[in-house]
Amino acid sequence: MQDWVTYYISEAISWIAVAAGLFAVLHAVTQRADAFTAADKLSKPKWLGITAAGTAACALFHFGGILFIVWVAGTVAILVYLVDVRPKLAEVQRGSH
């Protein structure tokens, strides 16, 4: 019984990371390029590449798999965008900067 619970939890975590990555890529696509430099972050094309690569890593290498470290790197890249870059972009585009 424990094995199937662990399997489904691992799969859920893996696919939640992919969904977060897709959200990050779509968010980056819809932002103005100048907002990235105004927020003192990497350029829009760089963040698009980082979030897309992170999403691909999460889709190809699963949580708890053999190449778990690749999944972790992809997840960290996505989370950095969502937790650090996205709020700064919102702040700049709101005019609070």
Q: What is the pLDDT of residues 5-50, one digit of tens each?
A: 988 998 999 999 999 999 999 999 999 999 999 999 999 999 999 9
Count the domains in the chain.
1
d(CA 26, CA 18): 12
Predicted TM-score (pTM) of this structure: 0.90
Residues spanned by the domain of 72: 2-94
Residue 7 sits at φ, ψ, to 5 deg, of -60, -50
Which pLDDT band, with edges at 50, 70 and 90, does 92 fall under?
Answer: very high
Query: How high is the pLDDT of residue 62?
Result: 84
- Segment 48-91, tens digit of pLDDT: 999 999 999 999 998 877 899 999 999 999 999 999 999 999 99
